[in-house]
Amino acid sequence: GNSVTQMEGPVTLSEEAFLTINCTYTATGYPSLFWYVQYPGEGLQLLLKATKADDKGSNKGFEATYRKETTSFHLEKGSVQVSDSAVYFCALSEANAGNNRKLIWGLGTSLAVNP
Amino acid sequence: GAGVSQTPSNKVTEKGKYVELRCDPISGHTALYWYRQSLGQGPEFLIYFQGTGAADDSGLPNDRFFAVRPEGSVSTLKIQRTERGDSAVYLCASSPLAGSNEQFFGPGTRLTVL
């Protein structure tokens, strides 16, 4: 079945460091790929998405490119801020019967950015 | 506008009791999802509603779990004879259309079964 694997945390960085969080997936078809973020004490928020191969999703300085050849969707940011401290989840969805676009999730990666 | 809301935000109950968790989706959203997130894990799909009907309940762990959405808006997740292993955060998400790629999440209900 479909699955998502993302790098384990916690990840600790200094402010302005470069961030990469790896995410790979297994899917039978052509999934859409997502990164969600969960800030402390808040609910899940969509950070960015990509719906087909070679698409690049971007938001708030974060980017991820849908790589079909490597089945990957790694999250990157060139210069992290303390306010980026959160848990990041990689997820995929495929169209299922009845237009069910349930999300399949990775375990989450906790990021702590120190000033 | 208002986002997805869930009540209660926290629920503590005793083993064997019955609980109901409520989700108010964004107005006009036809698709609704329930997920369960255990500590240190990613969310796991429970059930999907398209309108009033449960189009996919394959993620419900057993027959103690049931969910309804009688008028195609508010949904209630019901858990009978709760067990300690049911302790988790229960998340609700809605989408504007069936088949839409984007899901909007509520803050979750943290259920603790003692």
Note whether B96 contacts A: Cβ–Cβ < 8 A: no
Distance between CA B60 and CA B47 in Å, rounded?
A: 6
pLDDT digits (tens, 9 = 90+) for A102-112: 999 999 999 99
Residue A95 has pLDDT above 80, yes or no: no
Give the residue from A45, A47, A51 showing the smallest Cα distance to A75. A47
State the best of B9, B32, B45, B92 to mutate against chain A, taking most chain A CBs within 10 Å.
Answer: B45
More confident position, A99 or A77:
A77
Cβ-count burial of B21 within 10 angstroms (0-12 exposed, 13-18 middle, 19+ buried)? buried
CB B6 within 8 A of CB B21: yes
What's the confidence (pLDDT) of residue A9? 87
Q: For the segment B48-58, what is each residue's pLDDT rounded down to a tens digit?
A: 999 888 889 99
Residue from B105, B109, B110 to probe the interface with A (highest A Cβ count within 10 Å): B105
**Residues of B whose CB is below 8 A from A98:** 48, 50, 55-56, 98
Render pLDDT for A27-55 as a digit per residue (tens, 0 to 9).
988 899 999 999 988 889 999 999 999 99
Q: How many CB atoms lie within 10 A of CB B15?
A: 12
Q: Are B10 and B108 in contact (CB under 8 A)?
A: no
Q: How far is A59 from chain B (nearest CA, A)?
A: 15
Query: Does A98 have pLDDT greater than 70?
Result: no
Structure tokens given for B67:
């969910």
Confidence of residue B43 (pLDDT cuts 50, 70, 90): very high
Candidates B37, B18, B46; CA nearest to B88 is: B37
Give the pairing of strands A109-114 and B19-24. Answer: unpaired
Residue B19 sits at the chain A interface (C-beta within 8 Å): no
Q: How confident is the model at residue B1 (pLDDT cuts 50, 70, 90)?
A: low
- The residue type of A90 is C
| Residue labelled with tokens 């009688």 | B70
